[in-house]
Structure 1
Amino acid sequence: MFKITLLITGLSTSLCPVLNSLWLMMVYGVVYGVSSGFTISVTSVVLLDLMGLDCLTEALGLISLSSGIGSVLGPPFAGLLYDTTGSYTAPFLASGASMSLAAICVFLISYISKTTT
């Protein structure tokens, strides 16, 4: 379920530039809120399953570091994309693509770990 909600978060963000009415943006807000809320709330459980109890603290630290780097670099990168293209479409697509790529990586990690064990 974690992988699916992470993918939904990314895809819904990628679709954000084509949402041209208040109702569609409200639907986006609900879909994004529920899917990202679920993803955030079960991250530690998924890390425990993937990494085990021995590596949980290191994995949570790396997640926090990655999130911090994204929080610091994301807004200036989005601003650069806006300045370059003159549209908010590219920043939304880049943000959605990075979340979708993360979901694909989690799909691949779980698939590889199942095939190797």
Structure 2
Amino acid sequence: MVKPDSAALLISVIGISNTVGRLCFGLISDVINRNGTIAGIRITPLTINNYCLFLCGISVIAIPYCITYTSVLIASVLFGFFVSAYICLTSIILVDLLGIDRLTNAFGLLSLFRGVASMLGPPIAGVIFDMTNSYHILFCCAGILLIISALISFMIPNRNINDEEKEETDVEYNI
């Protein structure tokens, strides 16, 4: 059991590792956009996002299995670091998939669904806790949902819409 004063430190650790992650993934994304590869391997921001969502899910599932405060601290650092890719790469992924002209609409819809999930998630978690009296199940459910999200996102084709493709797409929609 983590003491309340120690739990406050975990929130700070998540925030710090999240900030470091945003800087790292922002730089990695910039290198990808300039070179198209990292160490000779073609990687897109979407691929990075998907792997990070998967690892974020693993770190959330690991938390109830952590026995020592140090292990909870490590899981918290990993969670903060990996979830940062999901936040900082969103705009880049939307532009790659849909083009700059559709960014505002896509970001608006995405924000709507994220907001609905944020409003529904805590009450649903509360009901599950009331039924089970266990946080263990909540962490496992949250982690599994993150992993499912990553697996679904892996099915999105990696593409970078350029001006020619965008024009072709616009013509198809207008017909």
- In 1: Cα distance, 2:95 partner to 2:71 partner: 36
Normalising by structure 2, we get a TM-score of 0.60
Instruction: Find the aligned partners of 2:100 and 2:126 in 1 and give their Cα distance.
Output: 39
Q: Percent identity between the aligned chains? A: 34
Partner of 1:40: 87
Corresponding position of 2:132: 85
- Answering whether residue 72 of structure 2 is matched by residue 25 of structure 1, we say yes
Higher Cα Rg: structure 1 or 2?
Answer: 2
Q: CA deviation at 1:65?
A: 0.9
User: 1:57 is matched with which residue: 104, 126, 151?
Assistant: 104
Residue ranges of structure 2 left out of the alignment (5+ in a row)? 1-47, 160-175
* C-alpha distance in structure 1 between counterparts of 2:145 and 2:101, whole Å: 29
How far 1:39 moved relative to its partner? Answer: 2.0
Higher relative contact order (CA 8 A, sep 6+): 1
2: distance between equivalents of 1:91 and 1:102? 16
Distance 2:75 2:111 in 1: 26
User: Larger helix proportion, structure 1 or 2?
Assistant: 1
Deviation at 1:93, TM superposition (A): 1.5
| Cα shift readout 1:84-108 (whole Å, capped 9, x = no counterpart) | 1111112111211221111111101
The count of corresponding residues between Structure 1 and Structure 2 is: 114
CA contact (8 A) 2:59 2:76 kept: no
Counterpart position of 2:63? 16
Distance between the aligned counterparts of 1:63 and 1:17, measured in 2? 30
Partner residue in 1 for 2:121: 74
Gaps of 5+ in 1: none
